[in-house]
Chains A and B, each alone.
Chain A
Amino acid sequence: MKNMKLQKRIAIAMLSSISFVLMLFNFPLPPFPAFLEVDFSDVPALIAAITMGPLAGILVELFKNVLDWIFSGSPTGMPVGHIANFTTGVLFILPVYFVYKRLSSTKGLTTGFVVGTLSMAVGMSLLNYVLFLPMYTYFLNVPATTGTALTKMIVLGILPFNIIKGFIVMIIFMILFNSMKKWIEKQRMHYLN
């Protein structure tokens, strides 16, 4: 197969479109603030990572956010939210990919999701603490939330939210995986070898 590379690139592009469209159907979870939203746009990125390698997954996350930025702009002018979304996605899909690579079964996938959810929840909590929330407050020029208020917001908001989000995406992906197991394996053989 000579055009394998091209085919892979096109498949990444198509999965990015799916991811972008899924991102539009986002919904907030009732007890959390409105800027924390759940969507299924990580599912195509996971498919990309598992069938075509980690870089493919990262690219899907990237294009999804660039597309969203072009289509709907960003409130502060700076794509802070998009950068945060990209980082969240990458922190989530990479562990799933690496665990699944070691242990290619339903069990491996479940373990991968647990690790991925944890890495996303902990990673985003830390990044929000040192980077994203201060960035927001800087652009809005409001007195920075610091100390206990910031810690409280992260421990009560961002940490549990990401765990629930990871759990929801995991359920969807497991149902999907059960019906597409053979197809996914076939694509893996096709693209990864």
Chain B
Amino acid sequence: MMEKMIFGRFMPGDSFVHKLDPRSKLLFVFAFIIIVFLANNPVTYAALFVFTLLVIFVSRIKLYFLINGLKPVIILMAFTFLLHIFFTKEGELLYHWKFISIYEEGLKQGIFISIRFLVLVFMTSILTLTTSPISITDGLEVLLNPFKKLKLPVHELALMMSISLRFIPTLMDETDKIMKAQMARGSDLSTGPIKERVKAVVPLLVPLFVSAFKRAEDLATAMEVRGYRGGEGRTRYRQLKWDSKDTLAILLLVAMTALLITLRS
């Protein structure tokens, strides 16, 4: 649990995808989510699928982790697949048995939707598996920069994101400590009726809130002392660097988009 909380689903590595700049990866994934909806016939869906497999191959992520990420979606996927199979009644009749009849169009739509699911889940998983949460935040900050003109406090928002990311592990640690302290006094969090368990949450929350506000005070003072005065002219510890690799990735996506547009019906 602790490990999981520190990195999210991030798997360190040194593949081509790992080395990409978070900005190009974010752009890539957002654009990909949009172009997925361009596909509308067997060829385009096959192209999307092959493209995704290619990205998985290049990212050198073990298939096990991707399948793991699929778990919460699998029921939804199966459900929509079956819904299409049984309720879309168009095209040729393929199979008939008592009250079950499967039509060509239903099977087609079912497969299409499953592929759409798979590629979307895989692509977003690859993003979070190859990019640490803190890089994602850095990338988002830069990508949102244009919105500064609309008075959106991008730097402040990114700062808050980074701080809350940084404090999740500390928080888990603290929760663990408080839980043990409460258990030592005889409170029971894991058994009993729901009502009792819900009530047992309260003594856990009180110290968490109090220490959160105390920490905010300390951290604000510490930052002031070190000369923090907002985003203007701030230099960075983690520098983002746009490489030829990143241009290549974006060009690949442009090529893919062009391919989809020509092949779609």
Q: Does B209 contact A (CB under 8 A)?
A: yes
Q: Distance in Å from the Cβ of A65 to the closest Cβ of chain B? A: 12
Total interface residues in chain B, CB < 8 Å: 60
How far apart sit A187 and B209, CA to CA, in the bound complex (Å)?
Answer: 11
Q: Does B56 contact A (CB under 8 A)?
A: no
* A73 B121 Cβ-Cβ under 8 A: yes
Contact with B209, one of A16, A18, A175 (Cβ below 8 angstroms): A18
How far apart sit A33 and B146, CA to CA, in the bound complex (Å)?
Answer: 41
- One of A74-82, A116-124, A148-156, A158-166 at the interface: A74-82
Query: In the complex where A172-B201, A180-B206 touch, is A9 in contact with B159 (Cβ < 8 A)?
Result: yes
Q: Does A49 contact B (CB under 8 A)?
A: no
- One of B11-19, B93-101, B161-169, B253-261 at the interface: B161-169
* B212 A11 Cβ-Cβ under 8 A: yes
* A142 B167 Cβ-Cβ under 8 A: no
Q: Does A67 contact B (CB under 8 A)?
A: yes
* A141 B112 Cβ-Cβ under 8 A: yes
Q: Does B116 contact A (CB under 8 A)?
A: yes
Query: In the complex where A15-B212, A142-B84 touch, is A20 in contact with B220 (Cβ < 8 A)?
Result: no
* A17 B125 Cβ-Cβ under 8 A: no
Q: Does A54 contact B (CB under 8 A)?
A: no
- One of B57-65, B180-188, B221-229, B237-245 at the interface: B221-229
Query: In the complex where A13-B164, A176-B206 touch, is A18 in contact with B198 (Cβ < 8 A)?
Result: no
Contacts of B171 in A (CB 8 A): 14, 17-18, 21
Contact with A3, one of B109, B116, B163, B220 (Cβ below 8 angstroms): B220
Closest to A77 in B: B120
Contact with B168, one of A6, A20, A34, A43 (Cβ below 8 angstroms): A20
* B164 A6 Cβ-Cβ under 8 A: no
Q: Does B83 contact A (CB under 8 A)?
A: yes
Q: Distance in Å from the Cβ of A184 to the closest Cβ of chain B? A: 9
* B160 A59 Cβ-Cβ under 8 A: yes
Mark each residue of chain B from 168 to 204: 1 if its CB lies under 8 Å from any CB of chain A, else 0: 1001100100000000000000000000001101100
Contacts of B210 in A (CB 8 A): 183
- The 8 nearest A-B residue pairs measured at CB: A77-B120, A11-B216, A13-B163, A7-B220, A14-B212, A13-B164, A10-B216, A13-B160
